[in-house]
A and B are shown apart, each in its own frame.
Chain A
């Protein structure tokens, strides 16, 4: 139990002033601007948008600056901010097949329509510190440009398999597109949770937690043998249908990362063998997150696919209840706040138990 305590206002005020000064750091060093953060720390911005569950690069940059680079604190600020705004409605589902691609790779097919497009990736770098970046004022390196843009048509890799009937459909046969979509920002999670809620939860879940769970599937806990069918990074158009217009309009483009996995196949005497799917999608450039998410999504589909639940990653209640880093940090960190009364009663209890035990020993000796 946490009991409110009074006092300490002055100390708290001064602590916050101290925090502000520390946030600024040495004043002979130039102050960070929000555009520097959004332009040059774009992966941090992506993570804050994905897990803050709010796409707005400027707000994410502000939150990162205010939180001194503590990304979970920044995510907390974003989550708090979103509650102050009205919700105008829902977008049409993103058409990720129509993304303007910056990157698109497949680990399952070497040659495929649209090609393997590496984009701005850390892959194949040597992970050696580049001390040239420590020097300021260097001429920035320019990207090469090809003669022509990418192909207009870049088909989804899994649809190539689907055309041959080698993989399950992306939606179950009885799927109803007009059915309401679960929204965990509106109703508390209940278990078992359907895939819509699981995907929403994973999309905003902590990258480290989802990464670790995804890793556990590869190490043999709920093994489902995943291949990365496709990773896509790029900009996708967002459409809404405002009530006053009654038709869909485009409100802009957002950057997203998407991953589709091709997983362990299933078959029986009556049904021919087919691969299964896992899916990951997140705001911004969040590749590690979406690959992990696809692994966890696939593991959480165990009941639907008739697999035994043998590992934590297959347990929706365990995964979805612990993935949210704001809930987690709130509960974990609150134990540092005053629990004086709680602790006093425990202290009293231990003293009494010890007294009783000593009395018993003395009585036994007499």
Chain B
């Protein structure tokens, strides 16, 4: 794992989160554009499993096990030895594979800026746009209270 970023790298955490939320179609299209030249093999083929989701009593108190969710993970190695990982919600194996491949590609200092600009930033914007659109619909249902005057005076 010579080219693995340092643990806790905030930008890596960010791009992995963006890749996990992307659609398979988007990642497939971006891979055609930016990754086609790359060869990779599997360290771990896409594998479907479960993660036990924890909550906290009262939202902020003691932990408890809420229930499980399906997760797919995958690890790939580029021809230069860089290793990419992916953990994504759901059972889309191709999505996990492409997310792992992009994670590897993004660790290459020569490619990082380009991929951040052309793949990660647009995906992030699209995700943020979706969140904002949804939030605006919720905001339209916010109650405006008005007080009625009761009695005399």
Interface residues of A (CB under 8 A from B): 49-50, 53-56, 58-59, 82, 85-94, 96-97, 100-103, 110-111, 115-120, 143-150, 156, 158-159, 169-172, 175, 177, 181-185, 195-197, 199-200, 203-204, 237-238, 240, 242, 244-254, 258, 260, 277, 279, 281-283, 297
Known contacts A156-B59, A244-B85; is-contact A102 B138 (Cβ 8 Å): yes
The interface bits of chain B over 41-57 (1 if a CB of A lies within 8 angstroms of the residue's CB, else 0) are 00000011111111111
Known contacts A55-B67, A199-B64; is-contact A118 B88 (Cβ 8 Å): no
Known contacts A117-B138, A149-B136; is-contact A203 B51 (Cβ 8 Å): no
Q: Can you name the residue of chain B whose Cβ is closest to the Cβ of A244? A: B85
Q: Does the CB pair B62–A196 fall under 8 Å? A: yes
Q: Does the CB pair A203–B66 fall under 8 Å? A: yes
Known contacts A86-B49, A250-B17; is-contact A56 B91 (Cβ 8 Å): yes
Q: Does the CB pair B59–A260 fall under 8 Å? A: yes
Q: Shortest Cβ distance from B124 into chain A, in angstroms? A: 12
Chain B residues with CB under 8 Å of A277's CB are: 58
Q: Does the CB pair B16–A116 fall under 8 Å? A: no
Q: Does the CB pair A177–B63 fall under 8 Å? A: yes
A–B Cβ pairs within 8 angstroms, 7 of them: A50-B67, A91-B69, A117-B139, A117-B142, A150-B138, A260-B59, A282-B66
Known contacts A195-B62, A244-B85, A252-B21; is-contact A115 B143 (Cβ 8 Å): yes
Chain B residues with CB under 8 Å of A117's CB are: 138-139, 141-143
Chain B residues with CB under 8 Å of A58's CB are: 90-91
Interface residue from B67, B91, B131 paired with A203 (Cβ < 8 Å):
B67
Interface residue from A85, A171, A251 paired with B60 (Cβ < 8 Å):
A171
Interface residues of B (CB under 8 A from A): 7-9, 13, 16-17, 20-21, 47-71, 73, 75, 85, 87-91, 131-143, 145
> How far is it, in angstroms, between the C-alpha of A228 and the C-alpha of B137 when the chains are bound?
24
Residue among A97, A251, A254 with max Cβ neighbours from chain B (10 Å): A251
Known contacts A82-B50, A175-B61, A279-B57; is-contact A200 B140 (Cβ 8 Å): no
Q: Given A55-B69, A93-B56, A258-B59, output 12 extra A-B contacts at Cβ < 8 Å.
A: A88-B73, A93-B63, A94-B66, A96-B55, A119-B138, A146-B142, A156-B60, A181-B64, A196-B63, A250-B21, A251-B87, A252-B20
* Nearest 10 Cβ contacts at the A-B interface: A252-B89, A170-B58, A170-B61, A149-B135, A250-B17, A146-B139, A171-B61, A55-B69, A53-B67, A196-B64
Q: Does the CB pair B65–A171 fall under 8 Å? A: no
Chain B residues with CB under 8 Å of A54's CB are: 50, 67-70
Residue among A103, A146, A156, A258 with max Cβ neighbours from chain B (10 Å): A146
Q: Does the CB pair B143–A118 fall under 8 Å? A: yes
Q: Shortest Cβ distance from A279 into chain B, in angstroms? A: 5
Interface residue from A59, A89, A237, A281 paired with B51 (Cβ < 8 Å):
A89
Chain B residues with CB under 8 Å of A252's CB are: 20-21, 88-90
> How far is it, in angstroms, between the C-alpha of A110 and the C-alpha of B143 when the chains are bound?
9
Q: Does the CB pair A145–B140 fall under 8 Å? A: yes
Q: Does the CB pair A253–B21 fall under 8 Å? A: yes
Interface residue from A55, A148, A197 paired with B139 (Cβ < 8 Å):
A148
Q: Does the CB pair A251–B142 fall under 8 Å? A: no
> How far is it, in angstroms, between the C-alpha of A49 and the C-alpha of B89 when the chains are bound?
14
Q: Does the CB pair A97–B85 fall under 8 Å? A: no
Chain B residues with CB under 8 Å of A185's CB are: 52, 65, 68
Chain B residues with CB under 8 Å of A253's CB are: 21, 89
Interface residue from B73, B88, B142 paired with A150 (Cβ < 8 Å):
B142
Q: Can you name the residue of chain B whose Cβ is closest to the Cβ of A152? A: B135
Q: Does the CB pair A238–B53 fall under 8 Å? A: yes
Chain B residues with CB under 8 Å of A85's CB are: 48-50, 70
Chain B residues with CB under 8 Å of A86's CB are: 47, 49-50
Q: Does the CB pair B85–A96 fall under 8 Å? A: no
Chain A residues with CB under 8 Å of B7's CB are: 245-247
> How far is it, in angstroms, between the C-alpha of A14 and the C-alpha of B51 when the chains are bound?
39
Known contacts A195-B64, A238-B69; is-contact A97 B51 (Cβ 8 Å): no
> How far is it, in angstroms, between the C-alpha of A297 and the C-alpha of B57 when the chains are bound?
10
Q: Can you name the residue of chain B whose Cβ is closest to the Cβ of A202? A: B64
Chain B residues with CB under 8 Å of A149's CB are: 131-132, 135-136, 138-139
Q: Shortest Cβ distance from B20 into chain A, in angstroms? A: 5
> How far is it, in angstroms, between the C-alpha of A100 and the C-alpha of B132 when the chains are bound?
9
